[in-house]
């Protein structure tokens, strides 16, 4: 068995658990890349939350 | 005719429960065969006592895949094309109607190559066991929402038609599929995750695969972090290597995409915590941002909602985000799997 519940949002959720993104001076591009992934993970998380048709509540 | 095949290597602790669960099915299989593979415990004796047939492997060095190929070679030679074979783990108990429902799914679709199960985690294992049960519940929810669409028909329990497995053998021998053991075995003995590879094989042969929500079973969880590490390292590395093995195809594209996202996730996790550490060490500090706090809130909701199958107490607990422990653990496992695959480090499982 290989494909378990693999949530790509997990690292972003872990990182954002403090409600922050560290501004380290590593450069805007780096920060933007992290933020972009976090937003991608956000989209995936919303997709998981939203009920699908036919799903019992 | 329906035959159940149970590969077992020193499974004395679980084989009785597994065989007893088969006696309670609403559709009783015609044959139950335990494939005793290099057993040094009481597996064979216990299986015979429960009324199962026992086949003993001879000189098998290819673990589960080798044991299954050994048993299937004899079985497939005698079977009719529409006969069915259920292959299940020795540490898993099927729900009472699993077989009846799985057979109905298979009969309803001539191009359905395999029907797998949706599993719940068995009791035990303390905190790490609890985390896996939550994880399995989320997986079950995912599969249910996708109406049985799954990436892999897991080796935990899967039902096949004989003709499907014969197609796989023929395709291995004519080069359409990877050669596997080179002797026309159904399972590829050269990979870490033979169930994942067989799923790829079926999809390549334009079969469909499915894990319907009504085909449920209970399977053991890993009782320690160490064993979970070993299990997930094998799964992850196996999945990556299966993608490499099949290359970039119509079938593997979505799997590659998931691997890419997963790899990106590992890098992001590493990068993020590096930045936090850097900020704390240098005194730059962290600044709470309302926007990111709101984003975090969505992740909390996701954790809560997706564990719904476990009940409200678990949903409430999930809001604390304590499960990040296993999320981060799995990130490390994935990183190790990518490194091992890239450098072709010694495989062990």
Enumerate residues 285 to 314 of chain B having a beta carbon within 8 A of any beta carbon in chain A: 286-289, 292-293, 295-296, 298-299, 301-303, 305-306
* Nearest-by-Cβ selection for B292 from A16, A52, A54: A16
* Nearest-by-Cβ selection for B275 from A7, A22, A55: A22
Residues of B with Cβ-Cβ distance to A5 under 8 angstroms: 135-136, 138-139, 142
Confidence at B291, pLDDT banded by 50, 70, 90: confident
CB contact B108 to A (< 8 Å): no
Confidence at B296, pLDDT banded by 50, 70, 90: confident
First to last CA, chain A: 29
Span B100-124, pLDDT tens digits = 999 999 999 999 999 999 989 999 9
pLDDT at A56 over 60: no
Say how far residue B22 (Cα) sits from the centre of its chain. 20
Determine the pLDDT at residue A18.
Answer: 46
Positive or negative, the CA dihedral B9, B10, B13, B16 is positive
Confidence at B289, pLDDT banded by 50, 70, 90: confident
Span B199-248, pLDDT tens digits = 999 999 999 999 999 999 999 999 999 999 999 999 999 999 999 999 99
Determine the pLDDT at residue A55.
Answer: 57
Are residues B273 and A15, on separate chains, in Cβ contact within 8 Å?
Answer: yes
How far does the CA of residue A3 sit from the closest CA of chain B (Å)?
Answer: 7
Residues of B with Cβ-Cβ distance to A42 under 8 angstroms: 295, 298-299
**Average pLDDT of the segment spanning A17-27:** 52
Q: How far apart are CA B272 and CA B291, in angstroms?
A: 17
CB contact A27 to B (< 8 Å): no
Are residues A48 and B284, on separate chains, in Cβ contact within 8 Å?
Answer: no
- Report the mean per-residue pLDDT for chain B: 93
Residues of B with Cβ-Cβ distance to A46 under 8 angstroms: 298, 302
Are residues A22 and B154, on separate chains, in Cβ contact within 8 Å?
Answer: no
How far does the CA of residue A24 sit from the closest CA of chain B (Å)?
Answer: 6
Confidence at A37, pLDDT banded by 50, 70, 90: confident
Determine the pLDDT at residue A1.
Answer: 44
Determine the pLDDT at residue A6.
Answer: 54
Interface probe with B: pick from A9, A10, A40, most Cβ of B within 10 Å: A10
Q: What are phi and psi for residue B278, nearest 5 degrees?
A: -60, -45
**Pair B194, B185: CB distance under 8 Å:** no
Determine the pLDDT at residue B23.
Answer: 96
Are residues B235 and A2, on separate chains, in Cβ contact within 8 Å?
Answer: yes
CB contact B324 to A (< 8 Å): yes
Q: Which of B156, B137, B144 is nearest to B323 (CA)?
A: B137
**Average pLDDT of the segment spanning A28-45:** 85
Positive or negative, the CA dihedral B239, B245, B250, B253 is positive
The pTM of the full predicted model, rounded to 2 decimals, is 0.89
Determine the pLDDT at residue B266.
Answer: 84
**Pair B158, B116: CB distance under 8 Å:** yes
Confidence at A53, pLDDT banded by 50, 70, 90: confident
pLDDT at A10 over 70: no
- Report the mean per-residue pLDDT for chain A: 67
The DSSP call for residue B62 is S
Q: How far apart are CA B139 and CA B82, in angstroms?
A: 31
pLDDT at B164 over 80: yes
How far does the CA of residue A52 sit from the closest CA of chain B (Å)?
Answer: 6
Residues of B with Cβ-Cβ distance to A41 under 8 angstroms: 265, 299
Lowest mean pLDDT among A53-57, B114-118, B282-286: A53-57
Determine the pLDDT at residue A26.
Answer: 54
Determine the pLDDT at residue A57.
Answer: 40
Determine the pLDDT at residue B275.
Answer: 77
**Average pLDDT of the segment spanning B145-162:** 92
How far does the CA of residue B200 sit from the closest CA of chain A (Å)?
Answer: 12
CB contact B245 to A (< 8 Å): no
Determine the pLDDT at residue A27.
Answer: 61
Lowest mean pLDDT among A31-35, B69-73, B93-97, B218-222: A31-35
């Amino acid at each position: 068995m290989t494909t378990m519940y693999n949530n790509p949002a997990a690292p972003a959720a872990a990182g954002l658990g403090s409600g922050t993104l560290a501004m380290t001076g590593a450069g805007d591009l780096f920060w933007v890349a992290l933020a972009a992934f976090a937003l991608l993970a956000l989209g995936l998380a919303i997709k998981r939350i939203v009920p699908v048709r036919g799903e019992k509540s | 005719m329906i035959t159940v095949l149970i590969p077992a290597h020193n499974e004395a602790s679980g084989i009785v429960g597994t065989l007893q669960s088969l006696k309670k099915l609403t559709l009783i299989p015609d044959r139950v065969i335990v494939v005793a593979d290099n057993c040094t415990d009481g597996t064979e004796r216990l299986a015979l006592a429960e009324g199962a047939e026992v086949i003993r492997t001879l000189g098998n060095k290819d673990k589960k895949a080798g044991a299954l190929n050994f048993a299937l070679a004899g079985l497939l030679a005698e079977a009719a094309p529409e006969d069915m074979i259920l292959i299940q783990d020795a540490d898993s108990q099927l729900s009472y109607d699993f077989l009846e429902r799985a057979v109905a799914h298979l009969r309803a679709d001539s191009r359905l190559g395999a029907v797998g199960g949706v599993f719940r985690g068995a009791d035990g294992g303390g905190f790490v066991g609890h985390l896996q049960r939550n994880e399995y519940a989320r997986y079950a929810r995912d599969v249910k929402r996708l109406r049985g669409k799954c990436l892999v028909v897991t080796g935990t329990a899967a039902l096949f038609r004989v003709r499907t497995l014969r197609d796989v053998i023929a395709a291995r021998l004519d080069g359409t599929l990877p050669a596997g053991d080179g002797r026309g075995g159904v399972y590829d003995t050269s990979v870490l995750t033979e169930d994942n590879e067989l799923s790829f094989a079926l999809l390549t042969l334009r079969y469909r695969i499915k894990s319907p929500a009504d085909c449920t079973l209970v399977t053991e969880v890993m009782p320690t972090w160490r064993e979970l590490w070993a299990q997930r390292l094998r799964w992850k590395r196996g999945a990556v290597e299966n993608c490499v093995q099949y290359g970039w195809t119509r079938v593997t594209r979505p799997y590659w995409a998931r691997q890419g996202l997963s790899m990106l996730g590992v890098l992001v996790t590493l990068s993020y915590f590096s930045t936090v550490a850097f900020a704390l060490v240098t005194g730059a500090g962290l600044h709470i941002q309302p926007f990111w706090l709101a984003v975090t809130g969505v992740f909390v909701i996701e954790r809560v909602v997706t564990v719904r199958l476990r009940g409200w107490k678990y949903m409430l607990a999930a809001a604390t985000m304590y499960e990040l422990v296993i999320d981060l653990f799995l990130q490390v496992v994935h990183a190790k799997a990518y490194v091992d695959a890239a450098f072709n480090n010694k495989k062990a499982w």
